[in-house]
Structure 1
Amino acid sequence: MMLGLRTTAYIVKDLVRAKAWYAEAFRTEPYFDEPFYVGFNIQGYELGLMPEGDKANLKGENVLSYWGVENIEKEYNRLLKLGATEYEKPTNVGGELMVCSVKDPWKNIIGLINNPYFKLPE
């Protein structure tokens, strides 16, 4: 049985710098911090950072993870001010549903979503 999304991991070249950037971007400190993995608890979901290693990994653009936000324009602009680059401007994709995405300084895609129709199980 599938239990749902648990972790989104990003591969980064500079783990120390990425840890600081993501702590500011997501406004939280890591709960797990080792040289091989840094983990953040984002409202019950795992955001992981993994070092790139000696061999550079290709960064695919075929998988997106969207992090829920209440004000998509505000969070999108805040991430751009932190050094992210635009990937997809905030876009209405039907009704009140909005999505957008940016690339972090290591070229990983961070998706943002405001979806008032989706509710987590209680």
Structure 2
Amino acid sequence: MASPLLGLRTTIYAAPDLEQTKAWYTGFLGIAPYFDEPFYVGYNVGGYELGLDPHLAPALGSPVTYWGVEHINEVYQSLLEKGAKSLEEPQEVGGGIFVATVQDPFGNTLGIIYNPHFRLE
């Protein structure tokens, strides 16, 4: 029997000041949102949605979403330069897989991962 889950589609981050949060993510991602309304902003990131919701508050202990990257050290440094705070510096966790986490300026945890074994088909 196949899994009823089809895979990840959307990750939503708290955006207490939607315009400021949108400006930060637009600057970091280098793309404009495809959906931009006063109640929600959505970006298409490699076929997945990164959403910003002004009605959410950052949740301590919530699951961390790791966004795939090719050059983890460069992306990590870019996040820090844009005002994110380091939570976990890039480190190998085995098998050539590297992970890092930062806290964006709005209190959300943003994870990045380089995994040479995982490729979307």
The answer to whether the Cα contact below 8 Å between 2:58 and 2:107 also exists between their aligned partners in 1 is: no
Is 1:22 the counterpart of 2:40 in the alignment?
A: no
Q: Following the alignment from structure 1 to structure 2, what is the Cα–Cα distance between the partners of residues 67 and 6?
A: 12
Structure-2 separation of matches of 1:93 and 1:65? 16
1: CA distance, partners of 2:104 / 2:9: 21
Q: CA deviation at 1:79?
A: 0.4
Aligned length, in residue pairs: 118
Q: CA RMSD in A?
A: 1.1
List structure 1 runs of 4+ shifted beyond 6 angstroms: none
TM-score (norm 1): 0.92
User: Residue type of the partner of 2:49?
Assistant: E
Establish whether residue 3 from structure 1 lines up as the match of residue 6 from structure 2.
yes
Distance 1:58 1:84, change over 3 A: closer
> In 2, are the aligned partners of 1:61 and 1:109 still within 8 Å (CA)?
no
Amino acid at match of 1:46: E
- TM alignment of 1:84-103, pairs within 5 A: 84-103=84-103
Give identity over the alignment, percent.
49
Q: 1:44 to 1:58 in 2, by over 3 A?
A: closer
Distance 1:6 1:65 in 2: 11
Gaps in structure 1 of 5+ consecutive residues: none
